[in-house]
Structure formats: C-alpha cells, structure tokens
Amino acid sequence: MKIIDRYILGKFFITFFWCYISLVGFYVLLDLVSNIGAFLGAGTVSDLLTNIPAYYFIDSFVFIDMVFPFLILLSAVTTSAVMDHNNELIALLAMGASPGRILAPIIVGALGASLLFTAIRECYLPARLVEISQKPSEFVQKSDVFPVCRSYDYKTHISIDGEKVLLNSNTIIKPSILLRKNLNTYGNRLTASEGVFLDADNERPDGWLLKDVASPSELLKNKSLMDDKLGEIVIYSPVDYPWLKENEAFVATSLKPIHLVTGENWFQYGSVFELKEALEDPTFKHKSITLAVRTHTRLWRPLTDLLPLFLGVPFIFLRRDKKILTAIMQGMFLAGSYVASQYVSSYLGVKLNNAFIGIWFPCLIFVPLATMFYCELISKNMRQKNKTRVDFEN
C-alpha cells in the first residue's frame, strides 16, 4: 500500500469514527429526553450511570443498522469534501491521479467497515435480542420475567399467549393457547398454570409441556387431538402417552420462549442462519416471503451497503466544478432514494407475494445508474487528460 493510499484511508477511518460518534450521540440525546424518567426510576445515581451506557451501547447498533449506508456515504463525502477544501484533490488530479484512483482507498475502507458491522449484525445483535426487545423501564429491572408477545403457529394454526415468560427456565406462566379448526373438539382454548418448553426427543417433537391443565378438562380424559391435514398429533393427552401425568398435556409447536419474548424483533435481528432455518419451518409459513427477502438482503448486505457510496461519490466528483455543498446534497438525495426504495420494494414484495421484487428491484434500478455515473466520471477524466495533452503539445 502506497503512502497516498494510507493517507486517504486514514482520513476516511478518522472521519468515519467522528461521523459514527456524531450520529449516535444525536440519537442518544433525542431518545434519552423521552426515556429519562424510566432510568431515574431505577434507583441510585450509580444505577443510573450504569444503565444508560449499557442500554444505549446495544441500542446504538440497532440505530446504526438502519442508517449504516448513510454513515458510509457521509464518511466518504466528508473525507472528499475536506480534501477538496484543503486543495488536496486538485493536487492529486494535477499529478495525474484519476478519480477512481483517489476513491479506491475510500472504497476499501468502506468495505472493511461494512464487513465489520456485518460481523456485529450476525453475531452480537442476535445474542442481544432480549435487550433489544426491552423498553428502558424493563431493561433497568434486570429481571428474568418478560411479558408475552402473542405468537401464531402457521403450521398448526394455534396461537400462544400467557401472563409472563421466565426465559432462563423456558417457562411460561398461565399459558393460554387458542385452538382452531379441528383441534377445538373439547373447547377452543387450552389453559394451564404453567408451561415448559421441551426440545424434541424420541417420544415427542418440540413443544410445550402444560402442567395443571385447567381447561378443557375433557382433554385429560380423552384421546389426543390430531390435525387431519398434517397427519400429525398436535395436542398430546395423558390417556395415550404415559410420560404425561394425569393433569398434564403437551402441545407440539416450534414456537420457542425466545419467540414469545422478542416477537417481530426475532425476525428482524436474528442471525441469517436462524432466518434460513425459519424459512424452511412450516411454523413460519405465513412469513416466508418476508423471511426470504430479509435472508437474501442480509447475505448481500455488505455489498448493498456500499451502493449509496457508488451512487453519491461519483455524482459529487462530476459536480465538483460547481458548489460543493450543492453537489453533496444532490449526492445524498440520490443515495437516500436508493435506501427508501429498499423499504418500498420489501413492502411491495410482501404484499404481492413476490420475493424477487422485494430483493432485487432496487438493484435493477440503481446499479445501472451507478454504472452510468462511473462511466461518465471516467469519460470526463479522459477528456481532461486529452485536453491537457493537447494544450501541452501546443
């Protein structure tokens, strides 16, 4: 790596750090104003000074995950603008360096930052799903007890609700399971005092062991309930299965305690491997298009995070003979249009039940546009070199 590459790369990373701190600081300040009451109710000043950094350290990654393409573009644009202000770009171009040569270290730095955040997104955020799902008032309590997010099993068409979940022991207190279709032979709601999630073994599939079943009481005295379409038993009765006590029942489902605690956040911040497994699980069949879009988007995220950079920076270089601030605003608007198109295409893909639209529609529009800008940038640079050579010969 040459000296000029190290110099530009160093400026980019310094700028990236300060842009990151500025964006996170602005977000934390705004969010803390509305949530300061929850933190003040935590107890002592020592607790306050501990809870606020701990909560916003995790929450800052969630915020940056939403604006990361803008962070990359903002860092690159600021680096270019500072170099232009210091006449460093003029010097480099006068030395014969092409815009692509100047941008190469910035692109390498942006790719490195994208890969680093991809590791955070796939390793750190899935491990902090519970904290991400908590409000500040719940976070400061440091409790193992969580409210239940009502969840639906699209394979068996049952929904699970309850009073609270004890995540460490995989227990739900006062579970209430709504039964539909041909599972409501004895009643449409199955209730118990406690439920424990059990992993599959030789005797049973994944599911919830319900203790002290309150209703329907007829279930404890009759045969197990089978879903005729699936050809599988969904509600296990102690009449047929001796491993169940006389006041127990078993509900077969892949809905785990983490799903009941985190709700939609599990589908948003679970790792790509977990999303891929869920995509193949009939339990989440209704979310298959959403999962397909999110899984494929995650796989390509290190590259698609850089597309706003490829859209914005060449646009700025092409307009640098005009007011630099105007060029920066135009480049940011163009990159913002791409980010907005990602959300629009995801929404349309889910509504139209078409994963292709949700995944590739923004790329089909903006990749050719970015390519056109780079071709124009190269052509402009070649014209300037030819003009300089002609002037020199004359």
Lowest average pLDDT, out of 83-92, 198-207, 299-308, goes to: 83-92
Highest mean pLDDT among 39-48, 99-108, 165-174, 306-315: 165-174
Q: What is the structure's pLDDT at 124?
A: 92
What is the three-class DSSP state of 193? strand
- Residue 233 β-bridge partners: 226
Residue 295 has phi, psi (to 5 degrees) of -65, -50
Query: Please, are residues 252 and 210 in contact by the beta-carbon 8 Å criterion?
Result: no
Nearest CA to 163 out of 178, 180, 150, 144 is that of 150
Judged against a pLDDT cut of 60, whether residue 391 lies above it is answered with no
Do residues 263 and 160 lie in contact, with contact meaning Cβ atoms separated by under 8 Å? Answer: no
Residue located via tokens 């270019």: 80
For 81-90, 115-124, 236-245, 256-265, which range has the lowest pLDDT when averaged over its residues? 81-90
pLDDT tens-digit readout, 34-51: 888 878 776 677 777 888
User: Are the beta carbons of 294 and 358 closer than 8 angstroms?
Assistant: no
DSSP string, 84-117: HHTTHHHHHHHTT--HHHHHHHHHHHHHHHHHHH
DSSP 8-class letter at 169: G
Q: What is the pLDDT of residue 41?
A: 72
User: Looking at residues 235-256, what average pLDDT do you find?
Assistant: 90
DSSP state of 118: H
70 closest CA partner among 332, 344, 365: 332
Maximum CA pair distance of the chain?
A: 104
Contact 237, 219 (CB under 8 A): yes
Which pLDDT tens digit goes with each residue over 302-319? Answer: 888 888 888 777 766 666
- pLDDT tens, position by position, 361-381: 888 888 888 788 777 766 766
Average pLDDT, the chain: 82
Question: Which pairing describes strands 158-161 and 232-236: parallel, antiparallel, or unpaired?
Answer: unpaired
- Put residue 231 in one of left, alpha, beta given phi > 0 → left and psi -120 to 50 → alpha: left
Spans of all domains in the chain: 3-137+281-393, 150-262
CA dist 211 and 194 (Å) reads: 5
Give the number of other CB atoms < 10 A from CB of residue 320. Answer: 18
pLDDT at 389: 58
Sequence-separated (6 or more) residues with CB below 8 Å from residue 228:
182
Return the top range by mean pLDDT from 32-46, 88-102, 159-173.
159-173
**The tokens of 44 are what?**
């002592």
Question: What residues contact 18, with CB distance under 8 A and at least 6 apart?
Answer: none
Q: Residue 318 has what pLDDT?
A: 62
C-alpha–C-alpha distance, residues 328 and 30, integer Å: 26
Backbone angles phi, psi at 321, to 5 degrees: -75, -10
Cα(352)–Cα(336) distance, integer angstroms: 24
| Interval 258-278 mean pLDDT | 86
- Say if CB 267 and CB 291 are below 8 A apart: yes
One-letter amino acid of 104? A
Residue 338, pLDDT score: 81
Residues 6+ apart with CB under 8 A from 366: 307, 311, 337, 338, 341
Alpha helices per DSSP H over the chain: 3-40, 45-85, 88-94, 99-119, 125-127, 129-133, 136-139, 257-262, 264-269, 272-279, 288-304, 307-318, 324-351, 355-393
CA separation for the pair 49, 137 (Å, rounded)? 15
CA distance 129 to 126: 5
Q: How far is residue 230's CA from residue 11's CA, in Å, rounded to a whole number?
A: 60
